[in-house]
Chain A
Amino acid sequence: MAEAISQAEKVKYMMQKFIPVAALIALFFAFSLVTDKFFTIQNILTIALQTSTLAFMGIGVTYAIITGGIDLSIGSVVALSGVVAGLAVRVGIPVLIGFLLALLAGIACGAVNGVMVTKLHLPPFIATLGMMQIARGIALYVTGARAIAGLPDEFGILGNGALFRTTTTLPNGRVVTQFPGIPYPVIIMIIVAVVFDFVLKHTRLGRFTYAVGSNQEAARLSGLNVNKVKVIAYTISGGLAGLTGIVTMSRIVTAQPNAGVAYELDAIATAVIGGTSLMGGSGTISGTMIGAFIIGVLRNGLNMQGVSYFIQQVIIGLVIIAAVAVDQLRKREA
């Protein structure tokens, strides 16, 4: 009997993993069929680049959601940290230090969210809704709502550079790119995904994150510092929003206080498509990565097909609903 349940569980688990992966592969396949230029190294790297920022935010919010919370402040924190980087660099602070300050700004916003949730006992929705307004307001105020342009070229390296870019010079003097290189944001994405996946799967912190979301009272009665775990989760979410801000602003070599509006909803969508439950206690980084790529591939493929941005929005909305509906159906059957 117990054996049978365990088998069913395994199948269920596989299905949960399998459906999003299958959807992603199907999308790749479909777009490759209808568009010549879709399945090229160049385009796949483009998709990875476009997906990277979505992945950062998705990974961060996955932590918050697993504890049973949510982070609505992500988009505003993206803007604020980008603005911090831009302002710092404009007053002459080296780019690297400017980026670090921006990261710290994101971390600070996340930590404040965590403290509001744990010490002020605010519902995460409310705490991060407040932070959403505050961070956006500060970003707009300190810039006078104007973009910070005229930043040095180094500001753009992180977002636009690539590793292993190889070029040759033809006899006629023209420079031809042989391999476009792996964009830095993609490399960072891989590192971030691997690290945070490892933390969630193999460390005490990860274990505690699941335990808090799965049964907060049992976690507390097992001696876990529930508050600390939550603060760390929100801090991770804030920090990765900060990273997103840096990469986003670096790509356009401009610090834009209006950037990132509604990004938190994209982030939540990636987590949810990837199988993270908003009830807390479950979710994986691999799932979130797949969720991010589903959205990334959809946007890229639909763009190449010349589908209007507005229709893209409709389609992504349908994907979110379908992903969760399938999940619910599966749960009810079980």
Chain B
Amino acid sequence: MSEEILRVENMTKRFPGVIALDRVSFDLRRGEVHALVGENGAGKSTLMKILSGVYQPDEGAIYLKGQPVVFHNPIEAQRAGISIIYQELNLMPHLTVAQNIFIGREPLKKGGSIDDKKMSEDAAAILSQLHVDIDPDVPVYMLPLSKRQMVEIAKALSYQAEVFIMDEPTSSLTESEIEELFKVIHRLRDRGVGIIYISHRLEELKYIADRVTVLRDGRYVSTDEYQSVTIDEIVRKMVGRPLEEKFPPRTSTPTNKKILEVRNITRVGVLHDISFDLYQGEILGIAGLVGAGRTELARAIFGADPKDEGEIFLFGEKVNIFSPTDAIRAGIGYLPEDRKLAGLALEMLLTENITLANTEEVSNSLGIISNKKEKQVAEQYVKELDIRTPSVFQVVKNLSGGNQQKTVLAKWLFRKAKVLIFDEPTRGIDVGAKYAIHKLIDSLAKNGVGIIMISSELPEILGMTDRILVLHEGRLVGILQTKETNQEEILNYATGLTSNASKKTGVTL
């Protein structure tokens, strides 16, 4: 057994309303690739952010080569030899490869000016250690993503990093690029570097992982030699828990009346030929891992992103959707994943946000908004949806997450949307408010609104929906009946291990 390089003990991190990490322990040895797996929200990213100095833990300790260390910021972690390769790379696109690698540490000439020649040579030396062919003098923006990743790795190496953290490094790479990345990872491992490898793609672990640790709901579950576990076992450990969250009883059942038909939606490189139907009274779930294309599908249907192909039928009639305006006119509403970024005008009032998509209703033919009508509308929805606010004239920024979500919902109810797409409807919302929102979703379905619900939380998908579309890398890989499936099966589809929807249309009842 090789020497331990990094150890984390009893790491705990709380955020308002959630415990992101609950006494997690973890260790990394020299010359190993230690895979860290878990569902979305299991705590992987939080742990990584603590290790790289972005977050400070509330409790627990980090030992680097046996010595306790505390990182107040990412620079300290990097100096200590821990480098993180993020999913979104942190390079300055207009600087050259060499300038990026040595940013802030440029070799100087005697007069104090930058020694470009030396910098370039040093960069080339590091890159050649990785056996990658990159010109150190080209600007980074000219490189494909996979090469930029290599630049990040080279930069980390130049810091003499002994611990590498890779967060979903293969998520945007092609197969041959992945192969090259794995070769580089092997080389790093052979040099005695310890690598923490986070990935949703369980199938790729067999090429690189020495050990695998599973996290679930912020807690440590297990650490195993990769050789001694099967993927099935890993998946079971990732899912683990019984359905402990309570969901309101469903009061509607799907009818056979089609509300929405989506046909062959394609956005080159993002969504591939996706077709499905939505029935009245139904709640249709969309499951998939990060990057599977769930949000992209919702946005394509809603007209928020352009689509290259595909048709949408509402109540049997074809609707042409080129923009959100078209979709809204047709009766579709979208509650985005990121309420603050895309759902609400945070600095504006509750009243103004509720009526934003339907100001016609509260204004006269001259376009003058009636404050009285607007107030009435807002009061009605505040009551109906139980939005907790001191006044309807509250600035939305000051409402809690649950009440903000209800505000977005009120906007679409006031617009009388016939199809609502909920994208992560309860993300960042506390348990009580979650229940209330689930209840609202159910009663909407009962009242005949077609509901599509995207969620990363499988219990939510299983607890609320009638059928589940599972996406994997932009493809519809399965349509499952909620009653007949379970988390293991959904994860098997979502990780690309199985597929039942490869038939041409993918439409099943």
Contacts and interface: CB of A to CB of B under 8 A. Distances in A.
Contacts of A204: 359-360, 363, 367-369
Interface residues of A, number: 26
A6 B345 contact: no
Given A204-B367, A207-B352, A207-B359, A221 B302 contact: yes
A46 to B, nearest CB: 35
Interface in B207-227: none
**Chain A interface mostly helix, strand, loop or mixed?**
helix
B324 A281 contact: no
A221 B398 contact: no
B348 A202 contact: no
A2 B368 contact: no
Interface string B324-345: 1101110000101000011111
A202 B357 contact: no
- Chain A CB count within 10 A is highest, among B348, B356, B389, for B356
Interface stretch (A28-36, A52-60, A212-220): A212-220
Interface in A104-126: none
- Chain A CB count within 10 A is highest, among B345, B388, B391, for B345
Contacts of A281: 345, 347-348
B390 interface: yes
Nearest to A2: B390
A5 to B, nearest CB: 5
Contact of A222 (B356, B390, B395): B356
Contacts of A221: 302, 304, 324, 334, 336, 342-343
Contacts of B290: none
Contacts of A208: 359
A211 B345 CA distance: 6
Contacts of A222: 324, 328, 356-357, 411
A220 B304 contact: yes
A282 B352 CA distance: 14
B394 interface: yes
B430 to A, nearest CB: 14
A202 B2 CA distance: 72
Interface residues of B, number: 38
**Chain B interface mostly helix, strand, loop or mixed?**
mixed
- Chain A CB count within 10 A is highest, among B344, B348, B371, for B348
A205 B368 CA distance: 9
Contacts of B324: 220-223
Interface in B313-330: 323-325, 327-329
A232 B491 CA distance: 50
A63 interface: no
A210 B327 CA distance: 23
Nearest to B336: A221
Contact of B345 (A2, A202, A215, A223): A215
A203 B368 contact: yes
Interface in B338-396: 341-348, 352, 356-357, 359-360, 363, 366-369, 371, 388-391, 394-395
A333 interface: no
Nearest to A277: B347
Contacts of B389: 2
A225 interface: yes
A207 B389 CA distance: 22
Nearest to A215: B345
A305 to B, nearest CB: 40
B391 A210 contact: no
Contacts of B304: 220-221
A107 to B, nearest CB: 19
A153 interface: no
A224 interface: yes
B367 A9 contact: no
A175 to B, nearest CB: 46
Contact of A211 (B334, B342, B348): B348
25 contacts: A2-B399, A3-B390, A5-B398, A6-B390, A202-B368, A203-B363, A203-B366, A203-B367, A204-B363, A208-B359, A210-B348, A211-B352, A211-B356, A215-B342, A217-B341, A218-B341, A218-B342, A218-B356, A219-B356, A221-B304, A221-B336, A223-B329, A223-B357, A281-B347, A282-B347
Question: Which 6 A-B pairs have CB atoms at the shortest separation, nearest pair first?
Answer: A223-B328, A214-B345, A222-B357, A204-B367, A223-B325, A222-B356
